[in-house]
Chain A
Amino acid sequence: MAYLNPAEVESALENLAAAYPGACELITCPNPTHEGRTTSVLRVGTRSGVDGVLLLGGVHAREWVPPDALVSLAADLLEAHQLGTGLVYGGQRYTADEVRRVVEDTALYVFPCVNPDGRAHSQTADPLWRKNRRPHPDGGGCVGVDVNRNFDFLWDHRARFAADSGVRTSANPCDRQVYRGPSAASEPETRNVVRLLDSRPDVRVLVDVHSAVPVILHAWGSDRNQSTRPEQTFLDARFDGVRGRPNDTGYGEYITPTDLGTVTALARRMRDAVKAVRGDDYPVEQAYGLYPTSGASDDHAYGRHVADPTRSKVFGFTIECGHTFQPTWAEAEEVVREVSSAVLALALALPAALSGTDR
């Protein structure tokens, strides 16, 4: 076996949709990439009206394992559901009834390769390429936007964060890693994700699978969490001068105790499911760690209902899987199993976890 290239990812989804028409649906994303590629999402699930999980992979081009992990997971679920078997990942076993519950009682929106242009470039030219392949605005040599700094969440970091926050994003188109783009959601890859969130209100959880650390991150990424000052949110411009600053008490991103309990519990279920595969430990942490982040998919997803209460609440997670961007394929297979196990555990825990939360 070998890593999937972008064309193979798309063909794999098409073939799964054709092979299992009763259990999945192929959704074509509306925005072609800068290099003209069309991407797809596979909705795995037999029923409508159930809670959904949006799974993203390949947002960062150089992180090669996540797209393979999500294709493998979709293929596993569809085959096992049809055969009426369980699924085993190393030391973690899911019964046939658990597979049935995931496929019939939830909907997994599998979007394995959000940034195929970047993946193609990383896999054939510059292996450490991270961004998409947006051409330089003036035709110069500086190419690409970091898709995971382009979402509409505190995107304008120079206005919304303290000058000494160290927020890891950049307004410089020549920044090799974290150029945020010319405007929020300027990139077709970003808009494809947002379109899914807009058009599928059944999505209640977003899991953006990245690599590597490993770690499982939950809200928020902008500042330390706090649950006592509800006025301190990313919406409030009064805190723009202090947001993101380390070791201060001037601002913390508000999260309700209930939501903090929910995201922590779900993340721990994923951690336990990973550990059972072969003993690797993916610690659970808040996404605000060494530095704050702006424009990330997980915070955008979770912040949507705060910005607009008519929207569904979507809990956002980032899994940083494995220990390196491009492990040998033999090692990548182990990481694929870990990610698969984590997502199945999450899906199985979802009904109980969401029953105590508002939508």
Chain B
Amino acid sequence: MSPDEPVFRVRVEAASLDDLRSVVDELDADVGCRGVARAEGDGFAVDVYLPGSRLATSRSATLTVVENQTEVGLARQAEVGRGNRFAVRGEVPRGLGRKE
């Protein structure tokens, strides 16, 4: 079962950390793992995840939709292994580092 409503990744930019916190609180947004803000231009930014019905505008911040995260995730499910590539004991995984 897929989620009922698409979730969007949205970049929130504000002039100060207090403004950023205020907007994210107002949106009641999913901030990902830990809610890490980064300096961006003269202000700060954080990526949040919002269902389409809660996409909003703000007077104290700029909100930019980055992508439809649900759509991306559903597409990526095609890139998950099927079955078990290591079901046979002799199938030993190899890492991505070059051995030299």
| Chain A positions near chain B (C-beta within 8 angstroms) | 2-5, 7-8, 11-12, 14-16, 18-19, 60, 62-64, 71-77, 79-80, 83, 85-89, 122-128, 148, 166, 168, 176-177, 210-213, 215, 217, 221, 246-247, 283, 285, 287, 289-291, 293, 296, 318, 320, 324-329, 333, 336-337, 340
Evaluate contact between A88 and B73: CB separation under 8 angstroms: no
Task: Tell me the chain B residues, 52-86 only, with Cβ under 8 Å from chain A.
Answer: 69-70, 72-74, 76-77, 79-82, 84-86
- B98–chain A nearest beta-carbon distance, Å: 4
Across-interface contacts of A210 in B (CB, < 8 A): 33-34
Category for how many chain B residues contact A = 35 or more
Which residue of B36, B77, B79, B97 is within 8 Å of A285 (Cβ)?
Answer: B36
The chain A residue with its CB closest to the CB of B78 is A2
CB-contact partner of A125 in B2, B47, B81, B85, under 8 A: B2
Contacts of A283 in B (CB 8 A): 38
Other A-B contacts than A2-B79, A2-B80, 9 sampled, CB-CB below 8 A, are A18-B89, A75-B94, A80-B99, A89-B97, A124-B80, A127-B73, A128-B70, A320-B33, A326-B76
The CA of A38 and the CA of B23, in the complex, are separated in Å by: 41
* A2 CA to B77 CA, complexed, in Å: 10
Q: Which residues of B contact A18 (CB under 8 A)?
A: 89, 92
Q: Are A290 and B46 in contact (CB under 8 A)?
A: yes
With A73-B95, A127-B70, A246-B21 as contacts: A3 and B81 at CB distance below 8 Å = yes
A122's nearest neighbour on chain B, judged by CB, is B73
- Cα-based distance from A327 to B67 in the complex (angstroms): 12
Contact pick for B91, options A15, A124, A213, A318, CB 8 Å:
A15
How many whole Å from B22's CB to the nearest CB in chain A?
10
Q: Is the CB of A127 within 8 A of B96?
A: no
Give Cα distance in the complex from A295 to B52, angstroms.
Answer: 30
B96 touches A126 (CB 8 A): no
Contact of A16 with B93 in the complex, beta carbons under 8 Å = yes
